[in-house]
Amino acid sequence: MILKRTRIMVDVDPALRRKLRLVAAKRDTTVKQYVLSALTVQLRRDQELTGDDALLGLTAEADPVLAELWDNPKDEAYDHL
């Protein structure tokens, strides 16, 4: 079975890159493995806080910040789709 993967690129400043490389080296891992682990941990925390269903879709209930952004006359047309 072949797993399909996609690439995510993130630009960081040189100081953050140095810190990331140092921390990964201290943990005897690669930057890639460290970042994937950190993402997995954060996603798990977010799922525990909001529940799995809330993260499956972008809704006002799932994300109050988005609710504030979406609650405006210009975007009201999307409420009726």
What is the tens place of the pLDDT at every residue in 4-35? Answer: 888 889 999 999 999 999 999 999 999 999 99
How far apart CA 54 and CA 34 sit, in angstroms, is 26
For 29-77, the pLDDT digits (tens) are 999 999 999 999 988 888 877 776 555 566 666 667 767 776 777 767 6
Neighbours of 71 (CB within 10 A): 11
Model pTM?
0.57
For 42-51, the pLDDT digits (tens) are 888 888 777 7
3-state secondary structure of 21: helix
Statement: residue 1 has pLDDT above 80: no
The domain spans of the chain are 16-80
